[in-house]
């Protein structure tokens, strides 16, 4: 008998494939349930599964293997041993202690990694595994899966330039089960009908860190709804700079001198006005003047986080009157949409960035939080034009700003973690790199700003393939 036929019958007889009525994790009811975890209980079945995967792997070229946790891990392990090809593992939960690795195992950037998966529906689990692999600089071209439920996964992966290879398709399984007399023709017809009517939209949500586009700033300009966001992209294009400088200094003299030194090389100057000892209205006017003459936007990194009423007072009042001079401010989403509503109500001249992720060690902006930030941004797209995130986490109609950028990787003693411009812009596909101490602690700030400007711009140009 053909090995695939034998395999399907075995899978059915061992109740890996079950027909009935099953409530899936997503809440929907399915007439078929496939639990490939069961295969580890039957060594000979597991061997058959791996032999079929191996037939496909043979025709592909790759340096390392990665199984999608958890079900495909034993498959990938056996393939790794069989072929003497090293393997890496993606952690489902990134540890908050020790090395905090997302990927376990030894590998080099630019190695080709083949992803092994047990079953694919929409492709979202594969994309979740893809994200940290790509972040670490690995190249992923192919995914080998035992079973394709034919519900949109292949198309979804193709959008990310990934080729799906499957041992079995749902259609094959149903045909084999019919031919072998395991299922009646009527039942199979009913199941076919179910699979055709439950195609998963290929627009399923994009996991964090995944670039969903490869569009240029020119192409994205008209997609940005907020006018500060559009103005920012105009400046970026005109100055060929996607560099923001974080001026964490304590005197107005230093702040103004940084603004004039780095002004020609940046699109944004990020301030923390509350750490300036001698802030006053004249300093503010001078800063705004420098911003106009060098054409950069002022981003007050105030991180509003309170209830709307308080935020409105903090934004417009006090001794800083932020709403009067800042072009951009940012906000946490912890207090709910009231924070954004207050900022939007108080000034239509100021664009908002939401904090979706942070650069510091042990921060609590987990996946679910990031997704919420994206949801809020979509709801207030007239005012919110982007995110503070570690890379591109969503669609091209938002702009992604990444802090914690330095040419030398590493960190500081208080939890800051640095990534280099090439990784941030080129691999993590962020738009604007925020550089602080890498520039302001340099002996020649102007020269350092020029170096970072070039590094960030070159990474962008290379990314969009110009």
Binding footprint of ligand 5IU on the chain (CB under 6 A): 246, 248, 301, 355, 358-360, 388, 403-404, 416, 434-438
Comparing CB distances to ligand 5IU, the nearer of 169 and 454 is 454
Q: How far is the CB of 300 from ligand 5IU (least distance, A)?
A: 11
Distance between CA atoms of 385 and 327, rounded to whole angstroms?
Answer: 12
Judge contact between 263 and 419, C-beta under 8 A.
no
User: DSSP letters of 278-291?
Assistant: T--HHHHHHHHHHH
Judge contact between 263 and 286, C-beta under 8 A.
no
- Identify which of 57, 59, 62 has the alpha carbon closest to the alpha carbon of residue 82: 57
Comparing CB distances to ligand 5IU, the nearer of 129 and 357 is 357
Q: How far is the CB of 444 from ligand 5IU (least distance, A)?
A: 17
Q: How far is the CB of 387 from ligand 5IU (least distance, A)?
A: 10
Q: How far is the CB of 10 from ligand 5IU (least distance, A)?
A: 51
CA distances from 459 to 65, 241, 407, 417 (A): 28, 11, 13, 20
Residue with tokens 């004039």, as numbered in its chain: 260
The pairing of strands 17-23 and 29-34 is antiparallel
306 is catalytic: yes
- Identify which of 191, 296, 180, 188 has the alpha carbon closest to the alpha carbon of residue 235: 296
The single-letter DSSP state of residue 432 is: E
Q: Is residue 437 part of an annotated ligand binding site?
A: yes
Comparing CB distances to ligand 5IU, the nearer of 144 and 355 is 355
Q: How far is the CB of 298 from ligand 5IU (least distance, A)?
A: 14
Distance between CA atoms of 15 and 22, rounded to whole angstroms?
Answer: 14
Q: Which one is catalytic: 35, 306, 372, 454? A: 306
Q: How far is the CB of 388 from ligand 5IU (least distance, A)?
A: 4
Comparing CB distances to ligand 5IU, the nearer of 62 and 369 is 369
Neighbours of 399 (CB within 10 A): 26
CA distances from 406 to 9, 209, 310, 365, 444 (A): 56, 19, 35, 22, 15
* Distance from the Cα of residue 450 to its chain's centroid: 28
Comparing CB distances to ligand 5IU, the nearer of 187 and 272 is 272
Comparing CB distances to ligand 5IU, the nearer of 117 and 301 is 301
Distance between CA atoms of 155 and 164, rounded to whole angstroms?
Answer: 9
Comparing CB distances to ligand 5IU, the nearer of 145 and 440 is 440
Q: Which one is catalytic: 101, 141, 303, 446? A: 303
Q: Which one is catalytic: 118, 301, 420, 431? A: 301
Residue 2 backbone zone (phi > 0: left; psi -120 to 50: alpha; other: beta): beta
Q: Is residue 270 part of an annotated ligand binding site?
A: yes
301 is catalytic: yes
Distance between CA atoms of 356 and 208, rounded to whole angstroms?
Answer: 10
In the three-class reduction of DSSP (H, G, I as helix; E, B as strand; rest coil), residue 320 is classed as: coil
Query: Counting Cβ atoms within 10 Å, is residue 257 exposed (0-12), middle (13-18) or buried (19+)?
Result: middle
Q: How far is the CB of 405 from ligand 5IU (least distance, A)?
A: 6
User: Would you please indicate which residues are annotated as catalytic (active-site) residues?
Assistant: 301, 303, 306
Residue positions in the annotated binding site for substrate? 248, 270, 359, 416, 436-437
Residue positions in the annotated binding site? 248, 270, 359, 416, 436-437
């Amino acid at each position: 008998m053909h090995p695939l036929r034998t395999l399907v019958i075995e899978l059915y007889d061992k109740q890996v494939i079950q027909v009935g009525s099953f409530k899936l994790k997503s809440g929907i009811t399915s007439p078929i349930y496939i639990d490939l975890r069961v295969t580890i209980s039957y060594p000979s079945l597991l061997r058959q599964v791996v032999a079929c995967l191996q037939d496909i792997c043979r025709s592909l070229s790759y340096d390392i293997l990665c199984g999608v946790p958890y079900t495909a891990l034993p498959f990938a392990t056996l393939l790794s041993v069989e072929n003497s090809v090293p393997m890496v593992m993606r952690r489902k939960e990134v540890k908050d202690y020790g090395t905090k690795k997302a990927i376990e195992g030894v590998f080099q950037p630019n190695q080709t990694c083949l992803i092994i998966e047990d079953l694919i529906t929409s492709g979202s689990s594969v994309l979740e595994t893809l994200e940290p692999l790509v972040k670490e600089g690995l190249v992923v071209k192919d995914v080998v899966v035992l079973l394709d439920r034919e519900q949109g996964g292949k198309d979804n992966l193709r959008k990310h330039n990934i080729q799906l290879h499957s041992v079995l398709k749902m259609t094959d399984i149903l045909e084999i089960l019919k031919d072998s007399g395991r299922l009646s023709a009527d039942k199979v017809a009913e199941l076919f009908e179910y699979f055709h009517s439950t195609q998963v939209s290929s627009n399923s949500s994009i996991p964090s860190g995944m670039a969903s586009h490869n569009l240029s700033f020119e192409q994205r300009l008209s997609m940005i709804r907020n006018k500060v966001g559009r103005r920012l992209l105009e400046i970026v294009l005109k100055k060929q700079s996607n560099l923001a400088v974080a001026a964490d200094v304590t005197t107005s003299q230093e702040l103004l001198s940084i603004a004039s030194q780095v002004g020609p090389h940046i699109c944004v100057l990020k301030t923390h006005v509350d750490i300036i000892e001698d802030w006053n209205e004249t300093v503010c006017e001078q800063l705004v003047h420098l911003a106009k003459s060098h054409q950069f936007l002022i981003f007050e990194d105030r991180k509003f986080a309170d209830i709307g009423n308080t935020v409105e007072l903090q934004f417009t009042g006090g001794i800083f009157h932020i709403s009067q001079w800042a072009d951009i401010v940012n906000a946490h989403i912890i207090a709910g949409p009231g924070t954004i509503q207050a900022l939007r109500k108080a000034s239509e001249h100021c664009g908002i960035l939401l904090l979706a992720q942070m650069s510091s060690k042990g921060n609590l902006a987990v996946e679910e939080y990031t997704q919420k930030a994206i949801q809020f941004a979509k709801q207030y797209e007239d005012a919110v034009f982007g995110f503070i995130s570690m890379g591109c986490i969503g669609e091209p109609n938002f702009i992604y700003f990444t802090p914690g950028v330095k040419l030398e990787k590493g960190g500081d003693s208080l939890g800051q973690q640095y990534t280099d411009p090439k990784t941030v812009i080129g691999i993590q596909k962020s738009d604007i790199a925020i550089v602080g101490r890498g520039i302001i602690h340099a002996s020649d700030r102007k020269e350092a700003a020029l170096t970072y400007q070039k590094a960030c711009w070159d990474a962008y140009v290379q990314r969009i393939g110009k």
